[in-house]
Amino acid sequence: MEISCPECGTENWLENQSRCLRCSAILRRCVNCANYSPRDRLCRPHRIEVDRREAESPSLLSCSTNCRDFRPGAPVH
């Protein structure tokens, strides 16, 4: 599955990449996931609250960066 980088727009293959090949931005972020509710700061599949900083700017070791339930798309409100 391909995903557009949230920083530069470059298409990246999501299954085998954590970072954008062009700008090195992290590709999997809660704010870019269809399973994340920004209003409730909630990850629906895991039923956990996600801190705003973690949702917007995760590190490579963050749970969101390595989440198997990540679904690209507009956030659920």
Confidence of residue 50 (pLDDT cuts 50, 70, 90): very high
pLDDT score of 38 more than 80: yes
Residue 1: the pLDDT is 84
CB-based contact 55:30 (threshold 8 Å): yes
* Extents of the domains making up the chain: 2-56
The Cα 9–Cα 61 span in angstroms is 23
The Cα 19–Cα 40 span in angstroms is 27
Q: Which residue has the tokens 């972020």?
A: 29
> In this predicted model, which residue has the larger pLDDT, 49 or 15?
49
